[in-house]
């Protein structure tokens, strides 16, 4: 019998990350539900997976801290024996997005630490730990294509992820490790909806030609495709999952 595949999903205690973890578990993966601080939510995701017959553990790690990331990979290998898949979902976007000139250094440093350095830290561990045939999915944003005012720093942090991913793909030549990027548009998560008026949400839902907000499951299905056999010839690509807004 073929051994079960093992997937690490960063930022998986809620929202898109939690849905990805649940979806991969249904696909048969043993899942590491990474979280930075909310252990109750992470444990809830693990419980949902195990009650449905899957296998999962919650592992605390701030992806901006290289030592904590290394420890997360150690725990994964100790618990499941290997790492086959890495989903770099962890990211931050402040609820208030002022113009570049009005963005403070604290917000800049936070986005760069989690969105860019966090991805950098996990990729460095993945290249050491993964065997032939591993799969990596990093997360960007469709803002890189829309260039909406107010998103300069957030967009820049995700553009860095796209560039890093494209080069990393080529650096992995001979390893059969595929690296792709998912760049969602607006997705109806608690984090996205918080602080927005019903009128604002309605307006945003009409931006894509499909005239709705994305759902976490839309993104999870895309990730499932990118780590599965059906996408075996897809490598080094950015998939903008946004209903056609850009």
Active site residue 154: yes
pLDDT, residue 34, reads 98
Residue 150 pLDDT exceeds 80: yes
Distances (CA, A) of 66 to 75, 119, 157: 14, 10, 18
pLDDT (tens digit, 9 = 90+) per residue, 24-75?
999 999 999 999 999 999 999 999 999 999 999 999 999 999 999 999 999 9
Residue 195 has pLDDT above 80, yes or no: no
- Point out the catalytic residue in the list 29, 35, 151, 154: 154
* Token output for 148: 């909406």
What pLDDT does 86 receive?
98
Give the pLDDT score at 101: 96
At 115 the three-state DSSP class reads helix
Domains of the chain: which residue ranges? Answer: 6-184+215-241
Q: Are 213 and 10 in contact (CB under 8 A)?
A: no
Residue 67 backbone phi and psi in degrees, to 5: -65, -40
User: At residue 191, does pLDDT exceed 90?
Assistant: no
Domain 6-184+215-241: which topology? Rossmann fold (3.40.50)
CA-CA distance, 144 to 155, in Å (whole number)?
5
Residue 154 phi, psi dihedral angles, 5° rounding: -60, -45
At 135, is the secondary structure helix, strand, or coil? strand
Residue 179 predicted with pLDDT over 60: yes
The per-residue pLDDT for range 116-145, each reduced to its tens digit, is: 999 999 999 999 999 899 999 999 999 999
Model pLDDT, residue 1: 56
Q: What DSSP state is assigned to residue 95?
A: S
DSSP, residue by residue, 148-217:
-TT-HHHHHHHHHHHHHHHHHHHHTTTTT-EEEEEEE--B--HHHHTT--HHHHHHHHTSSTT-S-B-HH
Give start and end residues of each alpha helix (H) in the chain: 15-26, 39-51, 66-80, 105-111, 118-129, 143-146, 152-171, 190-193, 198-205, 216-227
**Terminal CA-CA length for the chain:** 44
Mean pLDDT, range 230-237, rounded to an integer: 98
- pTM of structure: 0.96
The DSSP call for residue 233 is: T
SS3 246: coil
What tens digit of pLDDT does each residue of 211-222 get?
A: 999 999 999 999
Q: What is the pLDDT of residue 16?
A: 98
> What dihedral do alpha carbons 157, 90, 166, 170 form, nearest 10°?
140
pLDDT-derived band at 181 (thresholds 50, 70, 90) equals: very high
């Amino acid at each position: 019998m073929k051994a079960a595949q093992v997937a690490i999903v960063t930022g998986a205690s809620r929202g898109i990350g939690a849905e990805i973890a649940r979806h991969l578990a249904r696909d048969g993966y043993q899942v590491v539900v990474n979280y930075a601080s909310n252990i109750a939510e992470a444990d809830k995701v693990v419980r949902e997976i195990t009650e449905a017959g899957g296998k999962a553990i919650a592992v605390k790690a701030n992806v901006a801290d290289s030592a904590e990331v290394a420890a997360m990979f150690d725990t994964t290998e100790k618990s499941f024996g290997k790492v086959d898949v890495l989903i770099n979902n962890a990211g931050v976007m402040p609820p208030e997005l002022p113009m570049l000139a009005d963005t403070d250094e604290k917000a800049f440093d936070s986005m760069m630490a989690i969105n860019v350095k966090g991805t950098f830290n996990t990729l460095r561990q993945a290249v050491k730990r993964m065997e032939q045939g591993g799969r990596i999915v990093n997360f960007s944003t469709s803002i890189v294509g829309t260039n909406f005012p107010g998103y300069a720093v957030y967009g820049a942090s995700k553009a860095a992820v796209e560039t890093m991913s494209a080069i990393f793909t080529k650096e992995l030549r001979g390893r059969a490790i595929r690296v792709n990027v998912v760049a969602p548009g607006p997705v109806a998560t608690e984090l996205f909806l918080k602080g927005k008026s019903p009128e604002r949400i309605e307006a945003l839902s009409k931006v894509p030609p499909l005239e709705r907000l994305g759902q976490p499951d839309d993104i999870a299905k895309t990730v499932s495709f990118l780590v599965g056999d059906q996408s075996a010839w897809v490598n080094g690509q950015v998939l903008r999952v946004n209903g056609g807004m850009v």
